Amino acid sequence: MTAKRTSIHGQWSSRWAFILAATGSAVGLGNIWRFPYLAGENGGGAFVLVYLVCVVLVGIPIMMAEILLGRRGRQSPINTMDSLAAEEGLSRHWHLLGWMGVVAGFIILSYYSVIAGWTLAYIFRTGAGAFVDADAAFSKQMFTELISDPERLLAWHTIFIVMSVVIVSRGVKSGLERAVKFLMPALLILLLVMVGYAMSTERFMDGITYLFVPDFEQLADKNFFADILLPALGQAFFSLSIGMGAIMIYGSYLSQKSSITFNCFSIAIADTSVALLAGVAIFPIVFTYGLEPAGGPGLIFITLPIAFGQMPFGTFFGTLFFILLLFAAWTSSISLLEPAVTWLVENRNMSRVKATTIAGVIAWLLGLVTVLSFNHWAFSFSFAGVIKENGLFDIFDILTSNILLPIGGLLVAIFAAWLMSRSSTVDELGLGDSTAYQAWRFAVRYVAPFGVIVIFLNAIGVFKLLGFVE
Ligand code: PFF
């Protein structure tokens, strides 16, 4: 057994601090904004079912592997992979996995920040009572006006990047714990209020059926691998913050005593519950007000304000909801910056403030692409059987969630379960050679990698070319 490292960036103050911070990273726009609109675009119940299977069979095992690598390496993901590869007698090229994560992190943050900017805008709109008695047409119009104005989008995007830079430059550990401790329960309560409203709408049961009962007939003209499995897999990676080093760097601050297994299950359960609750709150509104489930990235910004406009104390609940959503996005964006910032501190000897500022400027500049994707540069194309209307934003989103994160996760699984010595992983997971350990090892060794590979090959049509499938 090699000597245990310590991180130069410090450690979480307690086991709960890690769970809270990692949940803060996982729960964000991915759960409340992205999950419902993808479910609506990709067939409702079938997508949700496949998503849940991906979380359990691929997501959780890979999350455990990623945290394990982080805690063993105790540095930025790039240097962690470099050290662990050296320790196991493997090629130093493994640090490219860390680099891929840094690139993915910048791209995700660049558009994440623009969407978080919409949330900021909606705090003020809802707070000003703009949605009182709003109908679907009005809500749609408000949203379209916002996204067609690049200057406004740019202003909100800039504010959000600055907010993220300020927190990360101070070190992510102080403050995050306290913020998440209050935020998560509050967000959960507000989602329950929203679900309460959804229950009072005429078409509540239609929303529930749409979300939880797979309609396989509707899938007849879809390619199951490319149109359902690939986006569901991508969403599992995106939502759990895995495959790009975010959870790895959080793992690097984790105390040696803390149970990786318990932590991962807690995080995944919290993350999945928030996504499902968001779906339950949104789809009944979609059906009751005659909106399109496949409404795209604007879905929650169009549906929820209608609910706030109708329900008692809607202005209060609505404003609070968007504030909490903003916090949730904030605690996620922090983890998107952290891998790059720690690398700059470790390898370029920079202060945290300078490193974070540089990283923030890169993400800000890249975000201009997304700002323009909704107006001047908008173009449409078809992906997974869905017409995507926001050109480069959609390409950034597909490239990261459906390609870079799964490849990152695949490499993490291969490293942890095929290349690292069994004794290192037994030592790190602390489960001994129990059934739980063996189940984990089986999942990361076989299920997760083959799942990702088979989905990829099918999605790019390789099996078809080779004549394996019709
Ligand atoms: N998991 C976050 C969300 O669901 O909003 C987004 C995210 C954070 C993705 C960190 C990836 C990541 F590394």
CA 23–ligand 1 middle distance (angstroms)? 10
Buried b (16+ CB within 10 A) or exposed e, 416-451: bbebbeeebbebbbebeeeeebeebbebbbebbbeb
Average pLDDT over residues 223-240: 92
Return the CATH number of 15-466, one of 1.20.1740, 2.60.40, 1.10.10, 1.10.287: 1.20.1740
CA 467–ligand 1 middle distance (angstroms)? 37
Tell me, what's the pLDDT at 289?
Answer: 92
Over 80: is that where the pLDDT of 429 sits? yes
Q: For atom 13 of ligand 1, which residue has the closest CA? A: 241
Higher pLDDT, 160 or 14: 160
> For residues 346 and 76, what is the distance between their CA atoms, to the nearest angstrom?
8
Exposed / middle / buried, residue 212 (Cβ in 10 Å: 0-12, 13-18, 19+): middle
3-state secondary structure the chain: CCCCCCCCCCCCCCHHHHHHHHHHHHCCHHHHHHHHHHHHHCCCHHHHHHHHHHHHHHHHHHHHHHHHHHHHHCCCHHHHHHHHHHHCCCCHHHHHHHHHHHHHHHHHHHHHHHHHHHHHHHHHHHHCCCCCCCCHHHHHHHHHHHHCCHHHHHHHHHHHHHHHHHHHHCCCHHHHHHHHHHHHHHHHHHHHHHHHHHHHCCCHHHHHHHHHCCCHHHHCCCCHHHHHHHHHHHHHHHHHCCCCCHHHHHHCCCCCCCCHHHHHHHHHHHHHHHHHHHHHHHHHHHHHCCCCCCCHHHHHHHHHHHHHHHCCCHHHHHHHHHHHHHHHHHHHHHHHHHHHHHHHHHHCCCCHHHHHHHHHHHHHHHHHHHHHHCCCCCCCEEECCEEECCHHHHHHHHHHHHHHHHHHHHHHHHHHHHHCCHHHHHHHHCCCCCHHHHHHHHHHHHHHHHHHHHHHHHHCCHHHHCCCCC
Over 50: is that where the pLDDT of 203 sits? yes
Q: For atom 12 of ligand 1, which residue has the closest CA? A: 241
Measured CA to CA in angstroms, residue 346 lies from 11, 80, 342, 353 at distances of: 16, 11, 6, 13
Over 90: is that where the pLDDT of 458 sits? no
CA 109–ligand 1 middle distance (angstroms)? 9
Question: What pLDDT, in 10s, does the model give residues 302-324?
Answer: 999 999 999 999 999 999 999 99
* Ligand 1 atom with the shortest distance to the CA of 333: 8
Higher pLDDT, 266 or 218: 266
Where does the pLDDT of residue 279 fall: very low under 50, low under 70, confident under 90, or very high at 90 and above?
Answer: very high
Question: What pLDDT, in 10s, does the model give residues 259-271?
Answer: 999 999 999 999 9
CB contact set of 18 (below 8 Å; sequence gap of 6+): 12, 250, 253, 254, 255, 258, 263
Q: What angle do CA 403, 408, 409 make, to 5 degrees?
A: 100
Over 90: is that where the pLDDT of 222 sits? no
CA 220–ligand 1 middle distance (angstroms)? 32
Ligand 1 pocket by Cβ (under 6 Å): 25-26, 28-31, 108, 238-239, 241, 244, 246, 332, 335-336
Question: What pLDDT, in 10s, does the model give residues 409-424?
Answer: 999 999 999 999 999 9
> For residues 281 and 194, what is the distance between their CA atoms, to the nearest angstrom?
5
Position 169, amino acid = S
Query: Mean pLDDT score of the chain, rounded to an integer?
Result: 93
CA 152–ligand 1 middle distance (angstroms)? 24
Tell me, what's the pLDDT at 469?
Answer: 63
Q: For atom 7 of ligand 1, which residue has the closest CA? A: 241
Tell me, what's the pLDDT at 13?
Answer: 83
Q: For atom 10 of ligand 1, which residue has the closest CA? A: 241
At 420, list the tokens. 């690292």
Beta bridge pairs of residue 383: 386
Structural contact between residues 112 and 29, judged by C-beta atoms closer than 8 angstroms: yes
Structural contact between residues 71 and 257, judged by C-beta atoms closer than 8 angstroms: no
Tell me, what's the pLDDT at 178?
Answer: 72
CA 171–ligand 1 middle distance (angstroms)? 19
Give, for ligand 1, the residue of 332, 334, 341, 400 to mutate: max count of ligand atoms closer than 8 Å to Cβ: 332
Over 60: is that where the pLDDT of 2 sits? no
Torsion of CA 401, 21, 346, 337, to 10 degrees: 40
Over 60: is that where the pLDDT of 41 sits? yes
Average pLDDT over residues 26-48: 95
Measured CA to CA in angstroms, residue 220 lies from 41, 199, 216, 391 at distances of: 15, 31, 7, 27
Where does the pLDDT of residue 218 fall: very low under 50, low under 70, confident under 90, or very high at 90 and above?
Answer: confident
> For residues 321 and 27, what is the distance between their CA atoms, to the nearest angstrom?
14
CA 239–ligand 1 middle distance (angstroms)? 5
